[in-house]
Amino acid sequence: MSTIHLSLIAQDRIVYDDDVKMVILPGASGAIGVLAKHAPLMAVLQPGEILVRNDGEEDRYFSVGGGFAEVRPDEVVVLARSAESAEEIDIARAEEAMRRAQEYLGGPEKDRDMERRLAMESALRRSLTRMKVARKRAAVRSRSADHTPYRQAQQEEE
């Protein structure tokens, strides 16, 4: 199996560091799928989901709060503003962050401070991504419990 090394690095820690078959990154202008021997590129990432696929294993999901990726034929390095694996995400915390951001963005304060408004919009995107990634994992788990073949279930979802 041809693999590529993925390092997913957040500000305070290394979140993932291993060989993978494929990784899909949330590029600022769309999803970027990377396999071994990919052409070199640098990309800005938006807040979104990273999917990691390995042969014979369940797909793994990470939320990323934006950042940069450097792709080389044998390596992908992601420098993330923040990143969490699906297993690490605290849904209640993400919901609370979403509520805070929505409250601010729905109120009169939003037109008084552009910098704060942009920060809140970004916080809202991070919280929504975290909830999506955490719930996707929960959905995968419950399908596994039903003994539905994982690939089949994923195709049905798409």
Question: Which listed residue (38, 84, 85, 98) binds ligand ATP by CB under 6 A?
Answer: 84
> Which positions from 98 through 157 interact with ligand ATP, judged by CB under 6 A?
123, 126, 130
DSSP 8-state assignment for residue 65: E
Tell me the two tokens of residue 39.
Answer: 């052409």
The neighbour count for residue 6, using CB atoms within 10 Å, is 22
Choices 16-24, 85-93, 103-111, 145-153 (CB under 6 A): range interacting with ligand ATP: 85-93
Measured from the CB of residue 63, what is the shortest distance to ligand ATP in angstroms?
Answer: 8
By beta-carbon proximity to ligand ATP, the closer residue of 13 and 112 is 13
Q: Left (φ > 0), alpha (ψ -120 to 50) or beta: where does 147 sit?
A: left
Total interface residues for ligand ATP by CB under 6 A: 13
Q: Of these, 69, 89, 124, 140, which contacts ligand ATP (CB under 6 A)? A: 89
Q: How many CA atoms lie within 13 A of 34 on its CB side?
A: 32
Q: Is residue 49 a contact residue for ligand ATP (CB under 6 A)?
A: no
The smaller minimum CB distance to ligand ATP, of residues 36 and 79, is found at 79
Q: Which two tokens stand for residue 149?
A: 């073949």
What's the rounded Cα separation, in Å, for the pair 123 and 75? Answer: 30
Question: Whole-number minimum distance, CB 125 to ligand ATP, in Å?
Answer: 9
8 Å CB contact between 84 and 129: no
> Which residues on neighbouring strands pair with residue 70, listed in sequence order?
42, 77
Position 82 contacts ligand ATP (CB under 6 A): yes
Binding site for ligand ATP (CB under 6 A): 12, 65, 82, 84, 88-90, 93-94, 97, 123, 126, 130
